[in-house]
């Protein structure tokens, strides 16, 4: 089968098209023929050997996609050949025509969900859900700040926040992204590369600060947001796209009686798997009602994966980037 492998640690040009044997399945796994594949910032970190849960290159990159179950291991009860599924693979392997994953990492797609939507939805909306609800303890009426809000995960969080009656404040790194989100009807947008985030947050929240922050950039932005939290606020790290590790500060958190948490979805799949089916049902219900709809910004062929990575790292992408085998 055709696949894209990061041959060594490095820039996008280390992504090479390779021919590999078909993946094997053990008794508890399913073999899925992928019809659409998501490009996640985690794939960039995997390529750069900077992802804590993925083995360093050489590795077939990719952690999400959607397709059809073609074969099931002897012990698999919840799937059968022909099922349409979305997959999450924290082990990599998704930039390929076929992938094998443990059966509970393959989730049934609603009949009305396309493979495109499935690839953009499965991993990303589960991440958004567990960041907001499981770690962030999201409440109706919370004032929520989201960094990189125009991206794949950011747009998913904005939609869930609206569905759950929260007041969203979107943080972005350019005025083009501000206009993009304004076009999607987002009222409060802060450009954190140009504006004073602390004073804009104080203005929007009448001096209180955000009750909940979902943070994916790190560095200076993280520190500003930590200081800006409302009393009893919650700050959840979900990523570090800016490359500078966040530094939660006990003194600052104590001064707000605030909570800090860090999400790793792979831990929920591996160690708290009972949380996945109910969250997946909630998300699929909201999708079928039309409340959630992945924002797909860019489409590439699988063999254009390097160009897709260039785009994601350039900070010029909006919404989700997909690859097609
Ligand atoms: N914890 C988990 O289990 C989990 C699961 C999935 C994804 N994630 C994380 O969630 C985040 C979002 O992923 P995504 O795939 O949806 O990506 P994305 O948000 O579509 O794209 C990444 C965005 O990060 C921002 N960014 C800030 N500094 C950057 C830099 N130096 N280089 C590149 N981008 C930078 C950019 O937005 P602005 O220009 O607007 O700042 C960029 O568009 C990533 O950090 C990813 O690792 C975590």
Which residues of the chain are in CATH 3.90.180.10 domains?
A: 2-123+273-324
Distance 315 CA to ligand 1 centre (A): 9
CA angle 91, 121, 10 (to 5 degrees): 40
Percent of the chain with pLDDT over 70: 100
List, for residues 239-258, the tens digit of each pLDDT value: 999 999 999 999 999 999 99
Q: Whose CA is nearest to atom 20 of ligand 1?
A: 151
How far apart are the C-alpha atoms of 59 and 15, rounded to whole Å?
Answer: 10
Q: Whose CA is nearest to atom 45 of ligand 1?
A: 239
Confidence (pLDDT) at 64? 98
Q: CB–CB of 323/304 below 8 Å?
A: yes
Distance 149 CA to ligand 1 centre (A): 9
Which residues of the chain are in CATH 3.40.50.720 domains?
A: 139-263
User: Closest ligand 1 atom to the C-alpha of 319?
Assistant: 20
User: Closest ligand 1 atom to the C-alpha of 193?
Assistant: 41
List, for residues 148-191, the tens digit of each pLDDT value: 999 999 999 999 999 999 999 999 999 999 999 999 999 999 99
Give this prediction's pTM.
Answer: 0.98
Confidence (pLDDT) at 43? 98
Give the sheet arrangement for strand 212-215, strand by strand. 188-191, 167-172, 143-146, 212-215, 234-237, 259-262
Is residue 52 very low, low, confident or very high in pLDDT (cuts 50, 70, 90)? confident
Q: What is the largest CA-CA distance in the chain?
A: 59
Is residue 319 very low, low, confident or very high in pLDDT (cuts 50, 70, 90)? very high
For ligand 1, which residues put their CB under 6 angstroms from it? 40-42, 45, 127, 148, 150-154, 172-174, 177, 216-217, 238-239, 241-243, 263-265, 312-313, 315, 317
Q: Whose CA is nearest to atom 36 of ligand 1?
A: 315
Q: CATH for 2-123+273-324, among 1.20.1300.10, 3.20.20.70, 1.10.3720.10, 3.90.180.10?
A: 3.90.180.10
Confidence (pLDDT) at 249? 98
How far apart are the C-alpha atoms of 233 and 325, rounded to whole Å?
Answer: 43
How far apart are the C-alpha atoms of 248 and 256, rounded to whole Å?
Answer: 13
CA angle 65, 124, 281 (to 5 degrees): 90
Tell me the average pLDDT across 72-76: 98
Tell me the average pLDDT across 261-272: 98
Confidence (pLDDT) at 254? 98
How far apart are the C-alpha atoms of 316 and 310, rounded to whole Å?
Answer: 10
Q: Whose CA is nearest to atom 5 of ligand 1?
A: 127
How far apart are the C-alpha atoms of 291 and 314, rounded to whole Å?
Answer: 30
- Classify domain 139-263 at the CATH superfamily level: NAD(P)-binding Rossmann-like Domain (3.40.50.720)
Neighbours of 204 (CB within 10 A): 18
Q: Counting runs of H as helices and runs of E as strands, what totals does the chain give?
A: 10, 16
Is residue 53 very low, low, confident or very high in pLDDT (cuts 50, 70, 90)? confident
Q: Whose CA is nearest to atom 27 of ligand 1?
A: 242
**What are the angstrom distances between the C-alpha of 264 and each of 78, 268, 270, 272?**
25, 7, 10, 11
- Under DSSP, the state recorded for 11 is S
């Amino acid at each position: 089968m055709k696949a894209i492998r990061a041959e060594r640690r490095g820039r996008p040009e280390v992504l090479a098209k390779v021919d590999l044997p078909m993946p094997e399945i053990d008794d508890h796994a399913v073999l899925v023929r992928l019809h659409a594949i998501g490009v996640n910032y985690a794939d960039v970190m995997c390529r750069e050997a900077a992802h804590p849960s993925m083995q360093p290159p050489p590795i077939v990159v990719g952690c999400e996609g959607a397709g059809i179950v073609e074969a099931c291991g002897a012990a698999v009860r919840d799937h059968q050949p022909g099922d349409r599924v979305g997959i999450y693979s924290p082990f990599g392997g998704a930039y390929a025509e076929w992938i094998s994953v443990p059966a509970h990492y393959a989730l049934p797609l609603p009949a009305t969900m396309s493979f495109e939507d499935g690839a953009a939805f499965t991993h990303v909306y589960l991440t958004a859900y567990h960041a907001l609800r499981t770690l962030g303890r999201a409440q109706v009426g919370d004032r929520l700040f989201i960094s990189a809000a125009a991206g794949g995960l950011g747009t998913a969080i904005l939609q869930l926040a609206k569905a759950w009656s929260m007041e969203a404040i979107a943080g972005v790194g350019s005025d083009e992204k501000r206009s993009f989100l304004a076009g999607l009807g987002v009222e409060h947008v802060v450009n954190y590369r140009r504006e004073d985030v602390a004073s804009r947050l104080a203005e929007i929240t009448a001096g209180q600060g955000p009750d909940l922050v979902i943070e994916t950039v790190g560095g200076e932005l993280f520190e500003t947001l930590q200081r800006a939290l409302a009393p009893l606020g919650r700050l959840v790290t979900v990523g570090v796209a800016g490359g500078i590790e966040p530094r939660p500060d006990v003194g600052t958190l104590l001064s707000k009686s605030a909570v800090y948490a860090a999400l790793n979805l792979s831990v929920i799949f591996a160690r708290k798997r009972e949380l996945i089916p109910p969250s997946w049902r909630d998300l699929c219900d909201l999708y079928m009602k039309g409340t959630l709809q992945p924002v797909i910004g860019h489409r590439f062929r699988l063999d254009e994966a390097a160009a897709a990575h260039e785009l994601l790292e350039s900070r010029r992408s909006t919404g989700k980037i997909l690859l097609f085998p």
